[in-house]
Amino acid sequence: MTNDDADFLTSYDPRAYPPVAVTVDVVAFTIRDGALHVLLVRRGGPPMKDMWALPGGFVGEWEDLATAAARELAEETGVATANRRLHLEQLGTYGAPERDPRMRVFSVAYLAFAPQLPDPVSGSDAREAAWVPMDDRPAALAFDHATILADGLERARSKLEYSPLATKFVGEEFTIAELRAVYETVWGEPLHAGNFHRKVLSVPGFVESTGATTERGGARGGPRAKLYRAGDAQLLHPALLMPSREETLR
Amino acid sequence: MTNDDADFLTSYDPRAYPPVAVTVDVVAFTIRDGALHVLLVRRGGPPMKDMWALPGGFVGEWEDLATAAARELAEETGVATANRRLHLEQLGTYGAPERDPRMRVFSVAYLAFAPQLPDPVSGSDAREAAWVPMDDRPAALAFDHATILADGLERARSKLEYSPLATKFVGEEFTIAELRAVYETVWGEPLHAGNFHRKVLSVPGFVESTGATTERGGARGGPRAKLYRAGDAQLLHPALLMPSREETLR
DNA sequence: TCGAGAAATACTCAAACCGAGAAATACTCG
DNA sequence: CGAGTATTTCTCGGTTTGAGTATTTCTCGA
């Protein structure tokens, strides 16, 4: 037996290693009533019983990570896994040794965006689930979920700048004003309507016109708006930059 | 016993779950002789014996993910973990069920950048390790490491745009031309020297002057260049955009 | 030692872009 | 019908950008 083989055998005997678990946790954002909401579940059992947490769970034996994230989301929201308008991306992995008191747990966090998702299906998992406005979110979440959520929000905010992510928050057809509302909601600051309009139409592949307009004007007046659908661009160039970034830096 | 408690007990007994392992793999880039190099190791044992792979290994029982990545890198290169000029960031987690034939292995990939790292310390791990020019890299790597490497390269390329990452590839003090060489090497295309110079100096916090100049002019002539060191900016604003992005998109 | 070539840096100029404001128009609601 | 509001377009001045050029200061080889 060569030295390498011996190394291999000891290195890779599963039982030679302490038990670890891998979970997925999902930071799911949607916009309801003009406010950014995140999906939270109330923990039904210890540890941290009754605390709010991100939806998540163990990765199945034959399950892909992204599939597991989609499944967890579907279990809470009933959103079809094949939903065309759902965006899922990996956010990062959190594996501090003490993040879960029971055992070594690595959590692969996913970020999900979707338009106006349905109310959570409580009871499917014996857990209470709810869309919670980000402004009213509990300061403390179970485990390190507050950190994960903060990272997810930051990712979402910057992804709006250079990707067509905002189109995932609106319906199949949308107006420029609806798109602007997404940016204003996630960025938390008002944008110049005229400049936003010009900018969106000037970015190649961001949106394409459907030719149609809304049936009615705005609820408080105004003309009927033209309708657009998402274009085929994967990266916005030039990007739409957050106005507040400029001062925040350095 | 409530339903929740029962759920908890069955859900969290470690032995109730099939064995999984978590590893870290490191995509380490450096620039040598004007070319981008990646650190690869030749596998010393099965599976995929003798194939090139990314350096990596299991995460220790009490070890943080980032710590494990730094350790793996140090084991191959002898680079001090506390090296100030080393940049380490999480790239993503790869967990396809069949990516490792032995058992379920989740690999958390890290991206590392450093200036002119020393030659790898072969023998420390009974493995051959080498800095391989990206242009000469083997088409096939062990497991899904080719995918991870491709993702790492793409991340590096775009991070140059909006972060001061390039300063991690050069020494403590550097000239604008050296910085430009980093961009040209990673992006693989020549840049306009005058515009690059103007742009770098105009981005607040990117670089700061040391007041000094190089001892000698360039090897093939030219005046002595002013020296700079990295500034305190974490995000470049405005960003330096890859010229080729414009056409590549869509 | 001198002249060619090269590189660092500064400058020019037109085109593109951006923020701010305002105008024109078309709706809703009372 | 009139007030108010929202969509869309336009204008204007300042800034940024890409492309090219100029200046200066080096190295190197003839």
| Banded pLDDT at B125 (limits 50, 70, 90) | low
Q: Does A3 touch chain B (CB under 8 A)?
A: yes
Q: Which residues get their CB within 7 angstroms of nucleic chain D?
A: A 175-177, 193-195, 197-198, 201, 213, 217-218, 220-223, 225-226; B 192, 194-195, 198-199, 202, 216-224, 238, 241, 243
pLDDT in tens, A74-130: 888 777 665 667 899 999 999 999 999 989 999 999 999 988 777 776 655 557 889
3-state secondary structure B177-226: HHHHHHHHHHHCCCCCHHHHHHHHHHCCCCEEEEEEECCCCCCCCCCCCE
pLDDT for the residue numbered A246 = 58
Question: A42-80 burial, b for 16+ CB within 10 Å, e for fewer?
Answer: ebbbeebeebbbbbbbbbeeebebbbbbbbbbbbbbebe
Q: Does A81 touch chain B (CB under 8 A)?
A: no
In this complex, the nucleotide whose C1' atom is nearest to the CA atom of residue A195 is C19
Using an 8 Å CB-CB cutoff, list chain A residues near B91: none
Strand C and B222 CB separated by under 7 Å: yes
> How far is it, in rounded angstroms, from Cα B82 to Cα B72?
14
Q: Does B46 touch chain A (CB under 8 A)?
A: yes
pLDDT in tens, A140-156: 999 999 999 999 999 99
Residue in A closest to B100 by C-alpha:
A12
Q: How far does the CA of residue B98 sit from the closest CA of chain A (Å)?
A: 8
**In chain C, which nucleotides are within 7 Å of a protein Cβ?**
4-11, 17-23, 25-29
> How far is it, in rounded angstroms, from Cα B244 to Cα B189?
8
Phi, psi of B91 (to 5 degrees): -100, -45
pLDDT for the residue numbered B115 = 83
pLDDT for the residue numbered A124 = 54
The gap between A229 CA and C5 C1' (Å) is: 56
Strand C and A81 CB separated by under 7 Å: no
Closest in A22, A45, A249 to B237, CB measured: A249
pLDDT for the residue numbered B114 = 86
Closest in A45, A92, A103 to B7, CB measured: A45
Is residue B120 within 8 A of residue B39, CB to CB? The reply is yes
Q: Does B17 touch chain A (CB under 8 A)?
A: yes
pLDDT for the residue numbered A250 = 38
Residues 164-203 of B with CB under 8 A from A: none
pLDDT for the residue numbered B220 = 87
**In chain D, which nucleotides are within 7 Å of a protein Cβ?**
3-11, 16-22, 24-28
pLDDT in tens, A24-35: 999 999 999 999
Range B54-61 average pLDDT: 94
Residues 98-137 of A with CB under 8 A from B: 102-104, 106, 108, 126
> How far is it, in rounded angstroms, from Cα A183 to Cα A166?
7
pLDDT in tens, B69-106: 999 998 887 776 656 678 999 999 999 999 999 899 99
pLDDT for the residue numbered B116 = 72
Q: Which two tokens stand for residue A243?
A: 């106005």
C-alpha distances in Å from residue B159, one per residue of A151, B19, B156: 18, 36, 5
Q: Does A223 touch chain B (CB under 8 A)?
A: no
CB pairs under 8 A between A and B: 129
User: Where would I find the beta strands (DSSP E) of B2-79?
Assistant: 20-32, 35-42, 52-53, 56-58
Using an 8 Å CB-CB cutoff, list chain B residues near A51: none
pLDDT for the residue numbered B140 = 96
Binary contact (A44, B126; C-beta < 8 A)? no
In this complex, the nucleotide whose C1' atom is nearest to the CA atom of residue B197 is C9
Binary contact (B8, A46; C-beta < 8 A)? yes
Closest in B95, B232, B239 to A65, CB measured: B95
